[in-house]
Chain A
Amino acid sequence: MPSTEFKGEIKVASRIVDYLSSGLYKSPGSCLKELINNSYDADAETVHVLVKPDADTIIIEDDGAGMDKDEFVRHFDRVAESHKRDSGDTTESGRPQIGRIGIGFIAANEICDEMEIYSTKEGSTELLRVTVNFDLMRQDVDVRRRKGVDVAKADYVGAVEEAERRDHYTRVFLRRVRGQAQDMLVSARRAAHQRAPAASLYGLTPEQVRGQLANPSLQSWDDFDLYSQTMLQVALNVPIGYPDDWLPSRHASAAAWFTQEAARPGFRVLYDGTELRKPVVLRPGEDDQDIFHEFEIKQDEIQARCYLYAKRRALRPDQLNGVLIRIRRAAVGEYDRSYLGFPNTQERLFQDWVSGEIWASDELEDAMNIDRRTLRDAHPALYALRDAFHDELGQFLRRARTELYSRPSAKRQERKAGDQLVGIREVIQSQEGFSKRLAKELVAAWEQYEDDSAILRRLVRKYTVTEIYDMVLEAAYEALEPDQVQRFLKALTRRLSK
């Protein structure tokens, strides 16, 4: 083998193997986001993700710091169990690092059988080229055991070639992408079992994507094709900015910290040419009936900056309903509709109206499982966070009830009553035999609805036929002779039964 060539095995601690073997990354989007987060950790400003038309080969290219052969071997030779980092683990530009590069690359094995990496560092004339073959993973674990508790996950062959001194990038090619993953990544259908094509976000500008997400008729991301669903999943997770006007403008000032913090790293992801923004578009409520609450949590065990947003009626698309945790700008899994285990009998209706985010401090990272999707319940940081968050959430839900439900409900009732009164006036005033004095007296009985809630309730109430008979008969016997009552009743029945 020429001196510039090298080879080896990627080994992982056996506990990681357990996680990796159990469908750690539940979708192709999860794998892509890991690789994108790797690029972020390499101080990249721009990442290109190229998937269409058929995901035969997927390309992820960044303009980050790159890596050389020594770094590659160091990252991959043994992917350790713990995901802890040394304190103050930041990139050269000061970004708190999100992931561990070895895990990120190994995630790729969930969707492909081979990965090729090209990378070069600025100022270096060396280009690292490595082909990682995941076929080894398909062998029995006993064949793959190495010394201690290590297990081989893949083997690699690499070489060092020449590069331009000024270049710095990492380019990853995912090859031999599995059929199912290909389908999920590029399908024009909404779901694997469906035939008809669905709406797509492919080829749209960020503004157009925002428009699609803001569309009141969009109930769920599932309304888009699988390609777009993956795109949105990726965009939800990686450290990119919010779209312009991501929430009603009257809340923009209150949300400014989040808007600025998300945009601060200046990290861009172009997904088949579309620049991604967080797929968080919080639609305004009808008649501006929405509330935004921004708050901080400051406990010994954890700090966090949070917001909660609610609008009247169920929040859509439904993927945004719940609370999303971010650590170091990257999302932990998806929106949690349980709100970290908030009692679901408490203000149940209004829990469906809410979307929120928790930007948590590093202490919470220790509670995170290696899949970066779930947290360990009993961890002190999560415990403290949950308590403080639930307090705020409880108050917020009560506020939502008052401001978005009770008050508007009362106003709606009053409007209905007003409409009924207009109708009653018209009916009475149109009776030719009625004197003006009588008409006025009859209408006056209802006009106090604004001050008398009992009258208001009766104005808008709906009556059954039985109840009409009861009331009318009572009134008829009071005012009419018995034979007149019978004639009246027959006439009424004829009208009601038509």
Chain B
Amino acid sequence: MEEDRLDKRAVRDLWLNVIVNEEGSSGPAPLYLTMPGPAGHEIGLLVERGILRLSETGAIEDPDEIRVVAVESSPTAMAELKKRYPGLSAVDGPIQNLLRGFDRTRMPEGKQRKRCQAKIVNLDFNGVLEAQTHSGAAVWHQLELVVKLAAIHRENAESWFLFLTFNANIPWAKVVQRAAVSFVKENVERREDFRSGCERILGEESLSVLLSGSQLPSEGDPRSRQRFMMVFVPKKIASEVVSLGWRTETLANLHYGDDVDRAGMVTWIFRFEWDERTGGTPDAVYGEAVTSSLANCSEVTPTGDMVIIE
């Protein structure tokens, strides 16, 4: 099972370290918003680390504080989670329901909004990053959710964290692929540090093919597609949120779960820092974010070790 795999456990340990470090800093907002799955392994780990305390009956102590919010796509899964951890704040339905869809103009209000202001948000998608065109422009659905979260966090203007995970397959239409490649190329051509990072991550040959052909590595080359995701996603997020006042720092950029014929997973840990410079010199801020996006790229091996990509 995914939950038992050593590579996933290693990733989860990274998450837990961030959560433990930030435990005292969330203020009135929840500490952690996550999609734990019906078995709630992650919740169990939070209990082990003392982030959540249980009473003798196994119920969450001080439930009214709402430190952790679990989002479960199915009511059945939510019920299982709440039976296992009575008192846990749990919302059923896909995460986009909590955020009122992918449309940036529709935002959650009241209690739902407060949940989205969690200090740490974990969007652990089992599936791929979905994309389509809208009025001729490529739109990546789950990244729209990230932008909405960034907009919601603007109210507090305090740093917050995002854990983001996708299946590294790329099922995008050709027009979307071209848009993504074009986006990456833009900084490859403008920033030398980004170019060298891409060479390191993608490999010289793959980069060259990318730059010349304006298309992604073929579906028969899942590893290269996975590496493309590692390059594309943090940069895309950085570009979308800089206008909202955020500078992103990519604390971890990882892939794991590789198999011979399978792309595996890609996962990131981002810190969003409020940066006043975004008002005057957004390009500079964006540039810093892009540089950091490839600074900590690693592979998590099946035994759970992290190997830096060089």
Contact = CB atoms under 8 A, between A and B. Distances in A.
Interface string B158-202: 000000000000000000000000000000000000000000000
Interface string B59-85: 111011010000000011011001100
A41 B308 CA distance: 61
Interface stretch (A197-205, A378-386, A406-414, A436-444): A197-205
Given A171-B79, A173-B75, A202-B55, 16 more contacts: A52-B63, A53-B87, A53-B89, A54-B89, A59-B82, A118-B76, A171-B76, A202-B59, A203-B60, A204-B56, A208-B56, A272-B86, A273-B57, A273-B86, A273-B87, A274-B59
Contact of A204 (B57, B82, B83): B57
A61 B83 contact: yes
Interface residues of B, number: 23
Contacts of A57: 78, 92
B55 A204 contact: yes
B65 to A, nearest CB: 8
B50 interface: no
A275 B59 CA distance: 11
Contacts of B89: 53-54
18 contacts: A48-B83, A50-B83, A52-B60, A52-B63, A52-B87, A53-B63, A57-B78, A171-B79, A173-B79, A202-B63, A203-B55, A203-B60, A203-B87, A204-B56, A205-B56, A273-B57, A273-B87, A274-B57
A116 interface: yes
A56 B61 CA distance: 18
B64 A53 contact: yes
Contacts of B76: 118, 171
B91 to A, nearest CB: 8
Contact of B59 (A59, A118, A171, A203): A203
Interface in A54-77: 54, 56-57, 59, 61
A54 B56 CA distance: 21
A56 B111 CA distance: 10
Contacts of B75: 116, 118, 171, 173
B279 interface: no
Contacts of B59: 52, 202-203, 272-274
Interface residues of A, number: 25
Contacts of A203: 55-57, 59-61, 87
Nearest to A197: B64
B58 interface: yes
B288 to A, nearest CB: 40
A285 to B, nearest CB: 31
A273 B76 CA distance: 18
A188 interface: yes
B113 to A, nearest CB: 14
Nearest to A275: B57
A164 to B, nearest CB: 11
A274 B54 CA distance: 12
Contacts of B79: 50, 59, 61, 171, 173
Contacts of B83: 48, 50, 61
Nearest to A206: B57
Contacts of A171: 75-76, 79
